[in-house]
Chains A and B, each alone.
Chain A
Amino acid sequence: MAQRQATEPSPAAAAIRILVVRSGGFAGIPQQWHVESRDDVDDWTTLVTACPWDQVGTDPASRDRFIWRIEARMPRTTRTAQVPDALLVGPWRALVDRVQDAGSHG
């Protein structure tokens, strides 16, 4: 659980919030994780901007694989993407791993 609060109040606009929703899979049971941070904004921004949000790609042949919906609300912009499980590699995997480790699950 890492819903972090800054010791000093900072403007709400300076916070970052990342939501990861895993849907699909044989079982069809969704899972989600999210993280909100005000003091690690730079670290998170680095992870988020490393991802190829505009060139996600598709996996039309697979059936029953997970689909990862990732939403990153950052101080100046909000990015969203639907990433097929087969393409959750490199920076996407790094971002999701970090949210799963640091964020709350449920």
Chain B
Amino acid sequence: MTQGIVPPYLLTRIAELEAPEFRDAATAAKQTLILDRPRRAARLSFTLDAEQNLVAELSAAPNRTIGNAKNTETLPGAEVRAEGQAAGKDVAVDEAYDGLGATFALYSEVYGRDSIDGKGLPLDGTVHYGKLYDNAFWNGGRMVFGDGDEQVFGRFTASYTVIGHELTHGVTQYTAGLVYRDQPGALNESISDVFGSLVEQYAKKQTAATATWLIGEGLFTKKVKGVALRSMKAPGTAYDDPRLGKDPQPADFAHYVHTTDDEGGVHLNSGIPNRAFYLVAHQLGGHAWERAGRIWYDTLLSGLTPKTDFAGFAAATVAAAAKRYGGSSAEVAAARAGWSGVGVTTNGAATGD
């Protein structure tokens, strides 16, 4: 079986084939050309059936473009790698390109979602943003990565979890639209960590037991005492460093952090739903993207309101698990146990803290 990204000129050639053995391929190519918006890519796979006919299957494919801001804060920067172009010598460019591809693969192959918006939205990223810029962010339309300061942080493209996290902010923007403050903001953050981690687990074919459950592993320089920025399995344990202090994430609702900084501590309190997801995945075992991830993905598309809080989200995961797997399924029991493990009720009632 051959698989590849088919450029438009080749689609045109295939669409024009008239020999009967190429009929399916020509039809698929025509469909792509007719349906496509500009810049859309598609993946065609060719197989031979029992009668030696060429069978063509059309599936979604990413359309990635990476820009280089060349250490300015100007977006999108100079285009340095477009879809289908070969890797070059710039590690950050190729890490961003590969991470976008890995994220696209999880959403497309596991959840049947065609890109961020479900409609093949091009995936755009910019690397080398700013001078010694210590961050990666989503600006509503693209992912942006700094090079780090070389003292505390190295390149922000170094982990698939970061790239998956940023693109998932786009998915949340196009689905639940959770506001970026307080509990809905911490859920927004957690959903990005959940699918960011699943991008890495899916690419590495890890199980819930073999996955690291770390977010941003390898981002810290060797000078920092810490393994990653966050731990979904054990929030609050990712680093403990003389200069940075100790990882401040709470692991349960009793330790919810009330602050006005960071939009109400969205990067702190995400530890609580992060651990709930880990507990569900751990209880179900196997590949976390299959059942735990499916429950969370279904929940994201279940019609959440933008101000959904922890208890509302927890109840929605139980409802999503019941809808897909049945009310007395192991998945429902695991969802209940996961939230109970972090002190959040799943009956939809507001949780006191």
> B261 to A24, Cβ gap below 8 A?
yes
> A26 to B140, Cβ gap below 8 A?
no
Q: Which A residues lie within 8 Å of B162 (CB)?
A: 26
In the bound assembly, the distance between CA atoms of A85 and B166 in angstroms comes to 17
B135, B166, B188: the one contacting A27 at CB < 8 Å is B135
> B134 to A25, Cβ gap below 8 A?
yes
Q: Which B residues lie within 8 Å of A63 (CB)?
A: 137-138, 166, 169, 180, 188, 192
Which A residues have a C-beta under 8 Å from some C-beta of B? 21, 23-30, 60-67, 69, 85-86
> B262 to A24, Cβ gap below 8 A?
yes
In the bound assembly, the distance between CA atoms of A27 and B238 in angstroms comes to 11
For this complex, 20 residue pairs linking A to B, each with C-beta atoms less than 8 Å apart, are: A23-B262, A24-B261, A25-B137, A26-B135, A26-B136, A26-B162, A26-B165, A27-B135, A29-B229, A30-B261, A60-B180, A63-B166, A63-B169, A63-B180, A63-B188, A64-B165, A64-B166, A65-B135, A65-B139, A67-B262
Which B residues have a C-beta under 8 Å from some C-beta of A? 134-141, 153, 156, 162, 165-166, 169, 173, 180, 188, 192, 216, 219, 229, 244-245, 248, 261-263, 266-268
> A64 to B262, Cβ gap below 8 A?
no
> B267 to A27, Cβ gap below 8 A?
yes
A21, A64, A69: the one contacting B135 at CB < 8 Å is A64
Q: Which secondary structure dominates where chain A touches chain B?
A: loop
Do A62 and B138 contact each other (CB < 8 Å), given the known contacts A26-B229, A29-B244? Answer: yes
- List 10 other contacts, CB 8 Å, given A24-B263, A61-B139, A65-B139: A27-B219, A30-B261, A62-B139, A62-B140, A64-B135, A64-B136, A64-B166, A64-B169, A67-B263, A85-B137
Q: How many Å from the CB of B3 to the closest CB on chain A?
A: 33
B137, B188, B248: the one contacting A26 at CB < 8 Å is B137
> A21 to B137, Cβ gap below 8 A?
no
Q: Which B residues lie within 8 Å of A62 (CB)?
A: 137-140
> B140 to A24, Cβ gap below 8 A?
no
In the bound assembly, the distance between CA atoms of A27 and B138 in angstroms comes to 14
> A64 to B138, Cβ gap below 8 A?
yes
Q: Which A residues lie within 8 Å of B216 (CB)?
A: 26-27
Q: How many Å from the CB of B251 to the closest CB on chain A?
A: 15
In the bound assembly, the distance between CA atoms of A61 and B262 in angstroms comes to 15
The 6 closest A-B pairs by CB, nearest first: A28-B267, A61-B140, A23-B261, A64-B137, A63-B169, A23-B262
> A67 to B261, Cβ gap below 8 A?
yes
In the bound assembly, the distance between CA atoms of A24 and B137 in angstroms comes to 10
Q: Which A residues lie within 8 Å of B139 (CB)?
A: 61-62, 65, 86
